[in-house]
Structure formats: structure tokens, C-alpha cells
């Protein structure tokens, strides 16, 4: 990719044409990444910045390159997503440093990041009283405990902040981040204990003076084992569905961590935190897959074993009034 191509794709990068033109070509090597990159440039030229940014970001995920990251950072900056732009410029600097022969574009990425950094907006999640199993989320994203009470750059917008822990009532609020307040702190209060579950009182069966009838009826489709089977199947579906979500989440976190820390050695705290969260999400997904598979097998066995037969209910007397049940199951 030549410097002229970059200038036509993103007008703001014209000022850094010398740096882009003198460095190694930024053209993606894989066909998929190249197609996405070209589509992104065309959308940006057509004024569709958001769609163009997403295409270039997808290209960069397939194959990181300094040129794609510079374009992505510039695009996000033009959209006002300064935290995303800053992260892209920082990663571009890291990738260029790793290449070892791209000093001019490394300097350009460092310069652009330095220009954006003073404009960043920060969100601080302050946990008043941590409890066992506490999970704090920003929208659907679980926030690593190491990032609690730490200012984290975020893009402007509205975020749902929630906290939940076993045995406690969940808590949630919504905050809006904009340029009027550079640093927004959200205090997460101590969670209230959830009330204990209500156990229904056991009522003794009424005494029968005499038993006058013998009841015989065919059993319905839903025998007791099959009812338990249905519950196990629902649990299996829930576990597998949740496992799919955590697996997807682990992949997304790993991709974000790779963008922050493309090298084996990394000194970026947020990149390390993202990597740790990716491992935790992957482990959770594996546990849920195993639990869901076991529940599914249990449901199938119970369903087969619970084939109903004729059920007979007969009265009996053995030191009192009683009932005997017989049938084929």
C-alpha cells in the first residue's frame, strides 16, 4: 500500500505522508484481510465512517499491520471514539517497534497517541465492599477485579454498570460518559443480602376413616423420570448456551489483549488484565460445556427409563390406612 493510497483513504493522514511512504508497505498478506481493508477504505471515502472503521478493525484482527492500525486509529478519532483511537495508535507503535525497520511510522503512531491521550475520558468503578463471587460488569463485559478503582479510558456513550454475587441482591445503574466530565467515578455500594428462600410448610395428610375404592388408570406420558428429564434438558441447554457465550467472550478478550500486547513480553497493565480475563472466560466455558454435556446425557437416560406403563393405586391397611402403587415404568 503506497502513501498516496493512504492519503486518498484517510484525509487526516496526509500530514504523515512522508512517514507512511518511506516505511515498509502495509498491504495485508492474506486475501481476507486485504478485501476487508479495501472495503473499509471505500466506506470511509463515501463518508460511512462507522462501517469503514468496523471493516478495517476486522482486517486488523485477521492480520495486524501498522498501516491498518494507523487507519483504524484515525477513523476512530474522527468518530470521537478517542479511547479506541488511542489503543489503536499504541498498538501500531508496538507493532512497528517489533518490526524493527519501521521507525518513521512508529514515531508517527507515538505522536498520534500523544495527541489523543490528553483528551481521553476515564471511568472508575469503585467497589465499596467486595464479597466472595462478586462480578462487576460494564454492559456485558466483566471487569477484572484488578481494574476496580482504576481509571480506564472509555469512549463517550451510555454504559450499564452492574454488580452481582451469590446470596446477594443484584445492583445496577446507568451512566453517561461525555466530555463535560473527563473522569467519571461510579461507586458500587455494598450489596444487600438476599432473603432466604421460602420453604413451604409441610401439611400432614388428612386421616381417612375408610377406603372405599380401588383406582386403576393408565399412566400419562409425563412420568416422574420424564419430568426430571425435562428439567435436566433445560439445565443442559442453559449450561451449553452460557458456555457458548463465555467461549465467544474469551475469544473477544483474547483479540483485545493481542491488540494491546502483540508481543510475548508485555508491560501494558490493561493488556495483561484482558489476557487474564480471556483465560478465565475460556475456563468457565469449558466447565459449562462439560456440565451441559453431562446434563444432556442424564436427560436422555431419564427419558428412556421413564417410559410410562399402567399405574394402579390400591388401598391397603397395615396398622392404619395406606395406599400401594404398582405399574410398569
Question: C-alpha grid cell for residue 45?
Answer: 471515502
- Reduce the DSSP state of residue 174 to 3 states and report it: strand
The β-bridge partners of 193 are 168
pTM comes to 0.49
Is the predicted pLDDT of residue 270 greater than 80, yes or no? no
Question: C-alpha grid cell for residue 92?
Answer: 501500531
Pairs from 218-223 (Cβ < 8 Å, separation ≥ 24): 218/308, 218/310, 218/311, 219/308, 219/309, 219/310, 219/311, 219/327, 220/308, 221/308, 222/308, 223/306, 223/307, 223/308, 223/329
Is the predicted pLDDT of residue 99 greater than 60, yes or no? yes
Check residue 208 and give its pLDDT.
54
The secondary structure element, H or E, covering residue 312 is: strand 310-317
Is the predicted pLDDT of residue 261 greater than 80, yes or no? no
pLDDT tens digit sequence for 130-168: 999 999 999 999 999 999 999 999 999 999 999 999 999
Distance CA 295, CA 290 (A): 9
Please provide the average confidence, as pLDDT, over all residues in the chain.
78
Backbone angles phi, psi at 48, to 5 degrees: -95, 75
Nearest Cα to 176, choosing from 153, 160, 152? 160
**pLDDT, greater one: 169 or 241:** 169
Average of per-residue pLDDT across 220-238: 75
Q: What is the DSSP string of 87-134?
A: HHHHHHHHHHHHHSS-HHHHHHHHHHHHHHGGG-EEEEEEESS--TT-
Check residue 184 and give its pLDDT.
92
Check residue 206 and give its pLDDT.
65
pLDDT tens digit sequence for 54-71: 999 999 899 888 989 999
The β-bridge partners of 168 are 193
Check residue 229 and give its pLDDT.
73
Check residue 267 and give its pLDDT.
67
Q: Are the beta carbons of 65 and 28 closer than 8 angstroms?
A: yes
Check residue 29 and give its pLDDT.
58
Is the predicted pLDDT of residue 219 greater than 70, yes or no? no
Check residue 328 and give its pLDDT.
45
Average of per-residue pLDDT across 29-55: 89
The β-bridge partners of 121 are 154
pLDDT tens digit sequence for 17-38: 333 333 334 444 588 888 999 9
Nearest Cα to 282, choosing from 316, 314, 255, 318? 255
Is the predicted pLDDT of residue 16 greater than 80, yes or no? no
Amino acid at each position: 500500500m503506497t502513501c498516496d493510497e493512504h492519503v486518498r483513504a484517510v484525509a487526516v493522514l496526509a500530514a504523515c505522508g512522508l512517514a507512511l511512504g518511506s516505511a515498509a508497505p502495509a498491504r495485508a498478506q492474506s486475501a481476507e484481510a486485504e478485501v476487508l481493508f479495501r472495503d473499509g477504505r471505500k466506506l470511509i471515502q463515501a463518508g460511512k465512517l462507522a462501517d469503514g472503521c468496523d471493516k478495517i478493525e476486522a482486517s486488523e484482527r485477521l492480520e495486524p499491520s501498522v498501516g491498518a492500525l494507523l487507519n483504524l486509529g484515525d477513523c476512530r478519532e474522527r468518530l470521537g471514539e478517542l479511547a479506541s483511537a488511542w489503543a489503536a495508535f499504541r498498538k501500531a507503535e508496538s507493532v512497528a517497534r517489533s518490526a524493527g525497520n519501521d521507525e518513521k511510522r512508529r514515531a508517527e503512531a507515538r505522536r498520534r497517541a500523544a495527541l489523543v491521550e490528553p483528551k481521553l475520558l476515564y471511568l472508575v468503578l469503585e467497589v465499596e465492599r467486595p464479597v466472595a463471587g462478586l462480578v462487576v460488569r460494564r454492559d456485558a463485559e466483566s471487569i477484572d477485579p484488578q481494574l476496580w478503582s482504576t481509571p480506564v479510558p472509555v469512549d463517550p456513550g451510555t454504559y450499564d454498570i452492574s454488580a452481582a454475587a451469590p446470596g446477594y441482591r443484584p445492583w445496577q445503574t446507568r451512566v453517561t460518559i461525555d466530555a463535560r466530565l473527563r473522569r467519571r467515578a461510579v461507586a458500587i455500594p455494598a450489596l444487600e443480602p438476599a432473603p432466604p428462600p421460602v420453604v413451604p410448610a409441610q401439611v400432614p395428610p388428612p386421616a381417612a376413616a375408610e377406603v372405599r375404592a380401588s383406582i386403576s388408570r393408565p399412566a400419562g406420558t409425563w412420568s416422574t423420570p420424564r419430568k426430571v428429564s425435562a428439567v435436566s434438558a433445560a439445565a443442559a441447554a442453559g449450561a451449553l448456551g452460557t458456555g457458548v457465550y463465555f467461549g465467544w467472550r474469551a475469544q473477544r478478550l483474547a483479540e483485545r489483549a493481542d491488540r494491546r500486547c502483540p508481543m510475548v513480553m508485555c508491560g501494558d497493565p490493561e493488556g495483561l488484565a484482558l489476557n487474564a480475563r480471556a483465560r478465565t472466560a475460556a475456563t468457565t466455558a469449558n466447565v459449562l460445556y462439560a456440565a451441559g454435556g453431562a446434563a444432556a446425557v442424564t436427560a436422555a437416560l431419564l427419558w428412556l427409563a421413564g417410559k410410562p406403563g399402567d399405574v394402579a393405586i390400591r388401598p391397603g391397611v397395615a396398622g392404619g390406612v395406606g395406599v400401594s402403587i404398582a405399574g410398569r415404568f
